[in-house]
Structure formats: structure tokens, C-alpha cells
Amino acid sequence: MTYTIEGTTGAWEVVIGLEVHAQVISNAKLFSGAATAFGAPPNTQVSFVDAAFPGMLPVINRECVAQAVRTGLGLNAHINLVSRFDRKNYFYADLPAGYQISQYQHPIVGAGSIEIELADGSTKDIGVTRLHLEQDAGKSLHDQHPTKSYIDLNRAGVALMEIVSEPDLRSPEEAGAYLRKLRTIMRYLGTCDGNMEEGSMRADVNVSVRKHGEAFRTRCEVKNVNSIRFVMQAIEAEAKRQVAVWEDGGTVEQETRLYDSARGVTRSMRSKEDAHDYRYFPDPDLLPLVLDEAWVAELGRSLPELPDAKRARFMREYGLPAYDAGVLVAEQTTADFYETVAKGRDAKLAANWVIGDLFAAFNRTGRGIEDSPVSAAALGGLLDLMADGTINGRIAKDVFEAMVETGADAATIVAQRGLRQVTDTGAIDAAVAQVLAANADKLAEYKAGKEKLFGFFVGQVMKAMAGKGNPALVNEALKKQLG
């Protein structure tokens, strides 16, 4: 179903393009040897190059280049063997050189694509226009002093990848799916941690609206949105604003806006007339960036299995439905966890336990896959106890809860609490006989033809056996005694 904004003149289609700034995972900055750790005390990770002292010169960090190439390859994108760095000139207190080194005309990565999955199970290819490398600016702190601003240059010069999408997205849901998928790919590649709270991934959102079948109308850019939820909210708020403007007989002006998440509206930041003239020109301190084709090929060979390939393999190898496979590959750690559990076991059952009980335990305990209360090996041990008939599925749920609480493994809990499944047919027969004797009225009804009471008897027997009866044997014994 197509997402639209309903206006007084009918339905409006929303057109969205995203520019994502992704901080490159690397030990050092893009053009200096300074470190890049998040949360260090202000101005402790700054070299003279980052602070743009006189005579300082940038030298490209090869690892950042490799990370950009890996990301490009992960987006099935064209790698440009020759790219160039340009200066983007503007004055700001946290931009020490008065220019940002970026790639304007000749980016390192060209066109690629990202396949997104939507809630209805459908998929859609979203075009990636380009990816380029650039420096981050420092941070201005305006709340530290009544009349002055403070500057922290720790972030100045850190490598960013700007990843620009085509205007292929048509709903907040698609935008959210795109961002999640991009983040997943970069996390798989180890090129960006995708942590939007710490600012290592930020999005600028280009939004326009149009009537079905029209050419694009004027877009507005909502800058620096710092969560996927806010991106989705900002799109809706901005699209509704534009619909109202058009329907009031006005014209949407191209401008840069900010999303006010507290009020759920976008606000104008600067109009086209106030737009900076960045005076881009090739940075004369840097030679063109020339990549060796064999080096790029080597990076390609060393890429990990990416989410789309992994999902296909999970469906093929483990017989999982697309949805389950998609959930499991969303994070590489989850996929690895699952594969450890599934290895040599009932893969479908393993998927149900990971997606169902384990994820529920995460929600309850506030923990996640990295600090899971039950390790993959321990969950596998639980599945083994079910497979070999030591416990039944009903008891397994209790054992699992005990594992979450205590951290002990399944076998220990089963032994300590005497949860071993009863397979002794004598004991089962006795329990059956006792239940039938205690429920003479129900037995009569059953014999009179109310066969659905069979389930009632199963439940009563299991209850009498504290849940430990082997379900198959209980069924068998009941059938025999009921005649």
C-alpha cells in the first residue's frame, strides 16, 4: 500500500532522499595521527593539523580509505580508482582551518544500492548516489559560560563517510528501513558503529511532496536528525507542512530546516538566499587519491558475509522463513549467536527460541545479545535436553527462565530441581488411572462422545505429574485406558 498524506485536495505522495554521515571506525583521524575515541576529555585528541596551526599539512589515513572502499563494496557500489579532495570553505569557530576537506566533484565511491525489507514482507531497491570521505568539524559548546562559547576539537578531523541516497524513498517506514539496513551493513563491515546517540551516524533528510504522477516539487532539507525514530517523525511532520503550504496556495521554498522533536515540527534554519557559498576547489595540499585495483579486489575478498547473503543462506540452509531469517541477520552478533545454537540441532526450533524466548528475556532484563543472560552454548544445551527427551517443551520454558535468573546451565537446573521428564510407563499409567478415577463425570461425558475432553485429561495428568510427564507417553497411556 502506498503511503500518502491526505490533504484537502486529495492524496499527496512523499519523496525522500537521505544523506547519512557515518563516522568511520579507525584509530586515527582522516588527515592526522590524532586518536578518535569517543568521550575523551575536551581537546585531548587534537593534533596541530586538526587545530589548523600555521604550516600544518594533511596526510591521508590509508585505513580510512580502506573503510570507505569496504563500505562501497558492501553497498554494491562502483569504486572510483581516482578520486579527489576538495576544500569546502566556510567560517565557524569549530572549523579550525576555515574549510572542511571533503570530496565534492570526484567521490571515492559512485552509484550503488541497498535492498530494504518492509513490514509486509516486500523488498525494494534504494539507489545510493555516492559515498565520499570528509572531515568532521569540532563541537561548539554554548551552555558552559554566560557569554562565551567553548570549542572542543576532539571530533575535528575525524573521518566521515557521507552516503547519499537517490530520492527513491516514499514513506517514513522506507526511510527507517533504509537507515536500519545501512547501519546493519556498516556494522557487519566494521566500518561504522552506527551509534546515533553518540553521533557516529547522523542523517540529513530531503523531503518533498507531489501529486501522483507529477515531477518532483521543491524539496527541503531537514538537517542533523539523530535517531531513526526522529527521522521518521521529521518526514511526516515536514511532508504535512509542505502539503499545507501547497494547499494554501503557497509555494514551498528550498531551505534548510531543523526538526524540533519536542514539538514534533520542523523549523526553518536558513533559506536558499542565506545558503553558504562554499567556494569548493581542489585541495592543493593533497594529491588525487589513486587506488590500486588489486588492493580494492583484495579488500573485496576479505569482506565478511553481508546481511542479504546471510539471510538467503539462513533460508536455504536452515529452512527458515524470510521474516525469521531477516530478524536473525539484522545484527551480526545475533546471527552468530543463532548459528551457534542451530549448529547440529533443529534449526527451526533454534530460531523460535532465539526470536521468541531469548528476545523476550532481553526485553525483560534490559540486556542484549552482547551480554546475553543465556549464552548460545547454554541455549544449545537446553535444546539438547529436549531433543534427547530429558525434558519436554513445557518444562523447557521453566528451565529457560531459571537459566536467565541464575545463569546456571540447563542440565544443572534439571538435575537440581528434579525436572527430568518421566518416561516410566508405570508411573504414567498410575497417574492416568488416578485422574480418570477422580473425574468420573468427565469420563462419562467422554465416553458419551465428547471427545474433545481428551485434552482436559492430558492437562490433568501433566498437572498431577508436575509437568514432567513425557507428552507422547501420556497421550499413549490415556488412549489405552480410555479404550
Positions that interact with another protein (CB under 8 A): 48, 51-60, 87, 89, 91-93, 96-99, 149, 151, 277, 279-281, 284-287
In the complex with another protein, which residue's Cβ is closer, 54 or 426? 54
3-state secondary structure of 433: helix
- State in angstroms the smallest separation of the CB of 38 from another protein: 23
DSSP letters, 301-338, are HTPPPPHHHHHHHHHHHH---HHHHHHHHSSHHHHHHH
In the complex with another protein, which residue's Cβ is closer, 60 or 453? 60
- State in angstroms the smallest separation of the CB of 19 from another protein: 20
- State in angstroms the smallest separation of the CB of 272 from another protein: 12
In the complex with another protein, which residue's Cβ is closer, 89 or 352? 89
Phi-psi region of 200 (alpha: psi -120 to 50; beta: other; left: phi over 0): alpha
In the complex with another protein, which residue's Cβ is closer, 87 or 311? 87
In the complex with another protein, which residue's Cβ is closer, 48 or 216? 48
What does the alpha-carbon distance between residue 5 and residue 203 come to, in Å, rounded to a whole number?
22
Pairing mode, strands 220-225 and 255-260: parallel
What is the C-alpha R_g of the chain?
30
In the complex with another protein, which residue's Cβ is closer, 101 or 109? 101
- State in angstroms the smallest separation of the CB of 24 from another protein: 19
- Own/partner contacts of 365-371, CB < 8 Å, gap of 24 or more, are 365/404, 369/331, 369/333, 369/334, 369/337, 370/333
- State in angstroms the smallest separation of the CB of 85 from another protein: 10
- State in angstroms the smallest separation of the CB of 287 from another protein: 6
- State in angstroms the smallest separation of the CB of 280 from another protein: 8
Name the nearest CA neighbour of 47 among 61, 57, 60. 57
Beta bridge partners of 12: 5
C-alpha cell at 405: 535468573
Q: In sequence order, what are the residues at sequence separation of 6 or more whose Cβ sits closer than 8 angstroms to the Cβ of residue 402?
A: 408, 413, 417
In the complex with another protein, which residue's Cβ is closer, 92 or 323? 92
- State in angstroms the smallest separation of the CB of 87 from another protein: 5
C-alpha cell at 470: 513425557
Kindly report the number of other CB atoms within 10 A of residue 447's CB atom: 12
Q: How far is CA 145 from the centre of its chain?
A: 38
Q: Is residue 74 within 8 Å of 113, Cβ to Cβ?
A: no
Pairing mode, strands 10-23 and 159-165: antiparallel
In the complex with another protein, which residue's Cβ is closer, 58 or 107? 58
In the complex with another protein, which residue's Cβ is closer, 97 or 133? 97
What does the alpha-carbon distance between residue 269 and residue 262 come to, in Å, rounded to a whole number?
17
Torsion angle of C-alpha atoms 149, 150, 153, 155, degrees rounded to 10: -80
Beta bridge partners of 223: 258
- State in angstroms the smallest separation of the CB of 40 from another protein: 19
Torsion angle of C-alpha atoms 92, 94, 95, 97, degrees rounded to 10: 100
In the complex with another protein, which residue's Cβ is closer, 47 or 184? 47
What does the alpha-carbon distance between residue 246 and residue 234 come to, in Å, rounded to a whole number?
18
- State in angstroms the smallest separation of the CB of 277 from another protein: 5
- State in angstroms the smallest separation of the CB of 57 from another protein: 5
Phi-psi region of 131 (alpha: psi -120 to 50; beta: other; left: phi over 0): beta
In the complex with another protein, which residue's Cβ is closer, 32 or 392? 32
In the complex with another protein, which residue's Cβ is closer, 276 or 364? 276
Q: Is residue 162 within 8 Å of 132, Cβ to Cβ?
A: yes
- State in angstroms the smallest separation of the CB of 276 from another protein: 10
Name the nearest CA neighbour of 205 among 115, 158, 269, 121. 269
